[in-house]
Structure 1
Amino acid sequence: MNYSSELKKIVTSQYVYSSIRITLATVIPCLVLSYFGLLKDYFLFPLGTSFVALTDQPGPFIRRRNSLTFAIFCFVVVASIASLVKGIIPLVILEIIAFGMFFSLIGVYGQRLAAVGSLALVVLAIFIDGHLTGANILKSLLIFASGCIWFLLIFLIVTTIQPYKLASQMIGENYLQLSEFLKIKANFYQKNPDFDRLNTQIIAKQIEIKNLQEETRETVFKTRTIVNESTTISRLLMLMFLNSMDLHEKLMTSESDYKKLQQSFEDSTILVQIHDYLNILSEEIANIGISLQSSTRAKPIFNLEARSQDLNIHYFELRNKAMNPDTLENFMILRQIMMRINEITKEINEIYKVFAQNVKLAKSLSTGLDLKKFLPKEEKLNFKVLRSNISLTSSHFRHAIRITTALLLGYLVSLLPFLMIGHTYWILITIVAILKPAYSITKQRNLLRFYGTVVGAVIAYAILYYVHINAILFAILLLSMILCFSLLKGRYFWAVLFMTMYIFMSFNFLNPGNINVIFKDRIVDTIIAGIIAFLVSYIVLPVWEHTQNLDLMKKSAECNLTYFHSVMSKFLNEDFDLEDYKVKRKNAIISLANLSDNFQRMISDPKNQQKKLEVVHQFVATSHLITAYTASLSQYSKNDKKYPEIDSESWTKKIEAEMNQVFVLLNDEKIPETLRMDSRLEPEDSSIENLLVQRKSELLENEIFDRRDPNKISHLTELKNIHDVLELIYDVAKEQRKVIQTYRAETTTLPQS
């Protein structure tokens, strides 16, 4: 592992950058207030700052600014009402019901408002017993509101000074994810690979890439300075992101029958050399990502031209030595893989040229795309959307009921005198943090929250017991805050661990010598909250993942069908619309990732709710293969070559018939006879077989050319690969149809074919 590179990935990431900004925005006022001896009286100022900061989600400037403004308004209103009704139990219960339902339901408008809603409930928890406001409620609320506004000012200043920073970091992270994706793909070429494990890793990584691409797409395409301004930086960022999308597709095109490949070349070192070279390409892609994150110019790490040449020389030497009529088809497959690797190498070299910031290139850049078509769909902010979700059929409404119920139980439990709860709000905050719409995420977070809290509390207790130098404790506090905010999205256990540490440090500075009470309360409150969250998520109107499977399978099948037809349009001599093709490609990848993500969550559901698990797993696997093979086929549809030897019309009818049968079965309908007939068509690709026989006879006559041009591939090899990919797509589509017949057979009798 390249530890230097790994460290750079972390240090230059948007999460560390954001966490440092949040930490400084929170700590600097603390230092100033502490210097004047006012920290205890004005503690609500940094608290308000940190709450608003946590609602700041990546995205376009205007959306971030508006959501921060809305968050400040919500927090002040919630804090005011909670402070005014404190101690009046009936009113507090009504308050929990009203705020619990409303702030959980606004999640229908997307992740940004969902974050505001969650933090608003945390504010409710903090102010619910009035221990922070004291006697002068107005003064406390003004201090809290000032702290909230302080972060908004910091945000406005930073984004004005560095308008492209977030977009650059997010695009860089896209390249880092693609680097990891290629590293997994490279492992298929090592000796004795674990195919099942690698396929699982590929699908999991696809989910991460999809989620990140969605966030980046919104940030880049909706940032006015990037889309509208004709600056070199904005155009280059747009180009770099679009290149990352194309590179992702090229990485997907290397899908092959790896088991057959391993058997064919097990006595050669060529596959291991491909593995090593792909890892080099992975490092180069990571280098581009790191440079984007750090806003520096990327320079190649390796001499790719020399490394690529060495790999191609080894391939051609093996070809000239071992190719014969029996191994011809194996070498055709390997030749295609070598071509794909050369294309990826060229793509990376082109990206480096773009990164050289050629101003002429930047000024001439025009995507020609309607960017609105590529944006993720979001619900518009109108009351109709909210009202339509007030129904037990809505997963958002059911989640709102669950979280409100859990908050009520948490509050009532905290009032029980024999428990002697010292910090009521810790129970409520933990419930809000743990309880998520999906049972699987709640279950996972419950365990991670408990483990992180216990370990963090033990470490903090030990530090405070043995260390009494305030400068060291303050340094640990700063480091803990930065690490907590940096890891909150991706490493929840570690985020909770460091959160617990900085909470302990904060309380120690505010009220020294109270560590034993804090330790006990923190552990007890976390256990109580975890039990409540788990029981509520399991009992109160749960939404199990298997209920989402059918809709997601339909969407994936539909998107794969339209993606395939878009690719085949070039072969059918139809108008090939690049923009339409890219939209179909995006939809296919997103729908596949959504289905895969849902399946991964279903694995964590209770056993009795893992309905048709194996069948769904098979559908996910076949969907992934169809998308990948279609991406491979797309490389031929984007060049100017013609392939009249391929019976494109018959292949299109045959494959689409199988795909349509899948869609028909998913809709619980009877398969039309026309689809059955079309799926049995035999494409007339006999000329390819004739050419193949002719080539084999040439080899028998020792007609082997020592051709060394890595950028040229014979027309026959291209035809054979197109034919093989079409056969693979058909075979997988047929297998998927049988999977769905099994899926439906468990509940109803379906006609078999």
Structure 2
Amino acid sequence: MNYSAELKKFVTSQYLYSAIRITLATVLPCLVLAHFGILKEYFLFPLGTSFVALTDQPGPFIRRRNALAFAICCFVFVALIASLVMNFKILVLLEIIIFGMFFSLIGVYGQRLAAVGSLSLVVLAIFIDGHLTGANIFKSLLIFTCGCIWFLLIFLVVTTIRPYKLAGQMIGENYLQLAEFLKIKANYYQKNPDFDKLTTQVIAKQIEIKNLQEDTRETVFKTRTIVNESTTTSRLLMLMFLNSMDLHEKLMTSESDYQKLQQSFEDSMILVNIHDYLNLLAEEITNIGIALQSGTRAKPMFNLELELKNLNYNYFELRNKQLSPDSLENFMVLRQILMRINEITKEINEIYKVFSQDVKLAKSLSTGLDLRKFMPNEPKLNSKVLRNNISLSSSHFRHAIRITTALLLGYLFSMFDFLGLGHTYWILITITAILKPAYSITKQRNLLRLYGTVTGATIAYIILHFIHINSVLFAILLISMIMCFSFLKGRYFWAVLFMTIYIFLSFNFLNPGKVNIIFKDRVLDTAIAGIIAFAVSYIVLPVWEHTQNLDLMKKSAADNLIYFQSVMSKFLQGNFDLEDYKVKRKNAIISLANLSDNFQRMISDPKNQQKKLEVVHQFVATSHLITAYTASLSQYSKSNEQYPEIDAESWSRKIEAEMQQTSTLLNGDDITEALRMESRLEPEDSSIEDMLLKRKTEIEENEIVDRRDPDKISHLTELKNIHDILELIYDVAKEQRKVIEKYRSEKHSTPPQS
């Protein structure tokens, strides 16, 4: 592992940048208040600041600003109502029901409002018993409101000064994820790879890339300054993001029959050479990502021209020694892989060229695309969406009932005094943090929350026991806050650990000498909340992942078919609409990632709810291969070369018929005889076999010609590769259809169709 690069990735990331901003916005007022000796009295000010800060999700400026303003209104309203009714237990219970349902349901409008809803419930927990407001409720609420508004002002100032910072960091993170993706793909070429493990890693990384691309797409395409401004920065960022998506496709095109490849070249070092070169490319992509995150210009780290020349030299040396009629097809596959590597190298060099554009050339940086077609769909902010989700068939409504039930149980439990808990609102806060719409996420968060709390509490206890210098404790508190907010999105265990440390230190500054009480309350409240959250998620209207499998499989199958048809249009009509193709490519990748993500969560469901797990796993694997092979085929659609030897019409009809059979079965219909006949067509590609036989005869009868042009590939090699890719797509589509046939036969107890 390159520890230097890993450190740079973290230091320049949006997560650390955001964490430092939140920490400074929260701590600076604390220092001022502490200086005047009124921190205890005005503690609600930094508390309001931190709550509003946590609702700030990455995205376009206008959406972020509006969400922060809405969060402030929600927080102040919830705090006001909670403060007014805190002495009337019946009204408190009614308050929990109304706020629990409403603030859980607003998650139907996306992650941004879901975050506002969750933090609103945390505000409810903080103010529910009045322990922070004191006698003067309205003064306390005014202080809290000022703290909330303080972060909004900080946000407006920072985004005005550095409007492109977030977009650059998010695009940079896209490149960092692509680098990790390439490293996984490189491992297919090492000695004795674990194919099953690597396939799982590839699918998991695809999910991460898809989620990040969606977030980045919203930030880039929906931010007017990025899309419309004729500045060098805005145009560069737009092109860098679009180039990252094209690079993603090129990385997907490296899909091959790796097991056969390993068998064919196990006695040579060529695959290891490819592995090493791909890792160099990954380092270059990482370098680009770090530069984008930090806002600097990237320069190449290695002499890729020399490294690629050496790789091609090793290939041609091996080819000249071992090429024979029997090994010809193996070398054709290897030659094609090297051509794809050449394309990836050119793409990286092109990205460096775009990155180093001079200000004077900014106007030449045009996308030529209708960017509106690439914008992600998001629910409209109207009451109809909310009303439509007030039904037990809605997963959001069921989640709202679970949250409300758990909060009621947590509050009722906190009313019992036999445990002597002093911070019972932590139970409600922990329930809100743990309980998520998916059982698998709730289960995972439950364990991570408990482990992180216990570990963090132990570390904090040790720190407070041995360190009594306030300046050192304050430094640790600052570092803990920054680490907590940095890890909050991706590494929940570490986020909870550091959160627990800074909470202990904060309480120690406010009320020194009570570490034993805080330790007991924190651990016990977390355990109680974890038990309640787990029980409710399992018992109260759970939504199991297997209930979504069928719809996601239908969507993935349909989008893969449309993606394939888009690629085949060049072979059939001779035209290729690049913009239309990119939209359909995006849809296919998103559908595949959604299906894969659902399968990953399903694995964490209880065993009795992992229905048809093997079927879904096979469907995910075959869908991934179809998407990857279609991406490989698309490289030929974009070229100006013609391939009349390929019987494109028969191949298109044959593969589409096979894919349509899968969609038909998924929709619960019977396959027609016409579809079956179409899928059995025999494409007339016999000329390719004749050309291949002729080439083998030439090799057998003549000496091998030492041609060493790495940028040129024979027409026969291209034809053979296109033919092989079409065969692979058909074979995988057929295998996928059989998987669904088996699924239906088991479901209906009828023999599978032939």
TM-score category, normalised to shorter length: over 0.9
Is the Cα contact below 8 Å between 2:105 and 2:396 reproduced in 1?
A: yes
Letter in 1 for 2:287: N
Match of 1:239 in 2: 239
Match of residue 592 from structure 1 = 592
Cα shift at 1:87: 2.0
For the aligned residue pairs, the C-alpha RMSD in angstroms reads: 0.7
Contact 1:670 1:751 in 2 (8 A): no
Cα distance between partner residues in 2 of 1:707 and 1:611: 56
Structure 1 position 702, deviation (Å):
2.1
Q: Secondary structure at the match of 2:747?
A: coil
Matches within 5 A, 1:354-373: 354-373=354-373
Q: Deviations over 1:271-303 (max 9, x none)?
A: 000000000000000000000000001011100
Give the Cα–Cα distance (whole angstroms) in 2 for the partners of residues 667 and 49 of structure 1: 50
The alpha-carbon deviation at position 746 of structure 1 amounts to: 1.9
1:391 and 1:371 map into 2 onto residues whose CA distance is 36
**Contact between 1:664 and 1:671, CA under 8 Å: does it hold in 2?**
yes
1:175/1:288 contact within 8 Å kept: yes
- Residues in 1 aligned to 2:459 and 2:500: alpha-carbon distance in whole angstroms: 9
Which position in structure 1 is the counterpart of 2:666? 666
User: Are residue 735 (structure 1) and residue 738 (structure 2) matched?
Assistant: no
Q: How many residues align?
A: 753
Cα distance in 2 for partners of 1:497, 1:637 equals 51
Aligned to 1:524: 524
- Structure 1 residue 368 displacement after superposition: 2.0
Do structure 1's residue 752 and structure 2's residue 753 form an aligned pair?
A: yes
Code of the residue aligned with 1:349 in structure 2: it is N
Partner-residue secondary structure (3-state), 2:129: coil
SS at match of 1:710: coil
Kindly provide the CA deviation profile for residues 186-205 of structure 1, in whole angstroms up to 9, marking residues without a partner as x.
00000000000000000000
Question: Is the CA contact (8 Å cut-off) linking 1:187 and 1:275 kept in structure 2?
Answer: yes
By how many angstroms is 1:577 displaced? 1.2
Contact 2:745-2:752 at 8 Å conserved across structures: no
Give the whole-Å Cα distance in 1 for the aligned partners of 2:746 and 2:515: 58
Per-residue deviation, 1:157: 0.2
Aligned to 1:635: 635
CA distance in 1, matches of 2:78, 2:672: 59
CA distance in 2, matches of 1:498, 1:492: 10
Aligned counterpart, 1:396? 396
Q: Offset of 1:747 from its aligned partner?
A: 1.4
Any residues of structure 2 matched to 1:553-592 within 5 Å, and which?
553-592=553-592
Separation in 2, partners of 1:746, 1:387: 38
CA displacement 1:92-118 (0-9 Å, x = unmatched): 000000000000000000000000000
Render the CA deviation track for 1:635-684: whole Å, top value 9, x for unaligned: 00001110000000000000000000000000010101111000000000
Matches within 5 A, 1:588-737: 588-737=588-737
Partner deviation per Cα, 1:448-485 (whole Å, 9 max, x = no partner): 00000000000000000110000000000000000000
**TM-score, scaled to structure 2:** 0.99
Distance change in 2, residues 1:616/1:554 (3 Å): same
1: CA distance, partners of 2:474 / 2:241: 40
Residues of 1 paired with 2:535 and 2:574: CA distance? Answer: 57
Cα distance, 1:421 vs structure 2: 2.2
Residue 411 of structure 1 aligns with which residue?
Answer: 411
| 1:324-335 equivalent positions in 2, closer than 5 A | 324-335=324-335
Question: Contact 2:298 / 2:355 at 8 angstroms: preserved in 1?
Answer: yes
* Residue type at the aligned position of 1:752: Q
Any conservation in 2 of the 1:599–1:617 contact (CA below 8 Å)? yes
CA distance in 1, matches of 2:575, 2:697: 39
Q: Indicate if the aligned counterparts of 1:741 and 1:750 stay in contact, CA closer than 8 A.
A: no
SS in 2 for 1:620: helix
**What TM-score does the superposition give when structure 1 sets the normalisation length?**
0.99
Kept in 2, the 8 Å contact 1:744–1:750? The answer is no
Deviation string, structure 1 residues 56-78 (Cα, Å, up to 9, x no partner): 00000000000000000000000
Query: Are positions 1:472 and 2:465 aligned together?
Result: no
Q: 1:267 maps to which residue? A: 267
Distance 2:563 2:682 in 1: 23
Cα offset, 1:751, TM superposition = 5.4
Match of 2:32 in 1: 32
CA–CA separation in structure 2 for the residues paired with 1:58 and 1:746: 45
Is contact 2:742-2:752 (8 Å) kept?
no
Is residue 477–residue 502 contact of structure 1 (8 Å, CA) maintained in 2? Answer: yes
Partner in structure 2 of residue 189 of structure 1:
189
116-125 or 565-574: bigger deviation = 565-574
CA distance in 1, matches of 2:84, 2:573: 72
3-state SS, counterpart of residue 342 of structure 1: helix
Corresponding residue for residue 92 of structure 1: 92
Q: Structure 1 CA distance, aligned partners of 2:443 and 2:299?
A: 45
Counterpart AA for 1:718: E
Equivalent residue number for residue 495 of structure 1: 495
How much has 1:145 moved relative to structure 2? Answer: 0.3
In the TM superposition, residue 703 of structure 1 has moved relative to its aligned partner by 3.8
In structure 2, how many angstroms separate the alpha carbons of the residues matched to 1:694 and 1:494? 63
Cα drift, residue 574 of structure 1? 4.8
Question: Shift of the alpha carbon at 1:592?
Answer: 0.3
Secondary structure in structure 2 of the residue aligned to 1:302: coil
Give the letter for the 1:346 counterpart: K
Aligned-partner Cα distance in 1 for 2:622–2:590: 15
Q: Tell me the alpha carbon deviations over residues 589-642 of structure 1, each in whole angstroms, 9 at most, x when there is no partner.
A: 000000000000000000000000001000000000000000000000001110
> Which sits farther off after the overlay, 360-369 or 186-195?
360-369
Unaligned runs of 5+ in 1: none
Taking the TM superposition and a 5 Å limit, the aligned residue runs for 1:139-218 are 139-218=139-218
Which amino acid in structure 1 is aligned with residue 530 of structure 2? G
**Partner residue in 2 for 1:279:** 279
Partner residue, 1:66:
66
Q: SS at the partner of 2:179?
A: helix
Q: 2:418 and 2:70 mapped to 1: Cα distance?
A: 40
Structure 2, unpaired ranges of 5+: none
C-alpha distance in structure 1 between counterparts of 2:239 and 2:383, whole Å: 38
How far the C-alpha of 1:365 sits from its partner, in A, is: 2.2
Distance of 2:321 and 2:207 partners within structure 1: 42
The structural deviation recorded for 1:361 is 4.3
Which runs of at least 4 in structure 1 moved beyond 3 Å after TM superposition? Answer: none
Secondary structure of residue in 2 paired with 1:720: helix
1:370-407 deviations in whole A, cap 9, x for unaligned?
Answer: 21211111100000000000000000000000000000
Distance in 2 of aligned mates of 1:377 and 1:309: 45
* Letter paired with 2:136: N
Q: Compute the displacement of 1:153 (Å).
A: 0.3
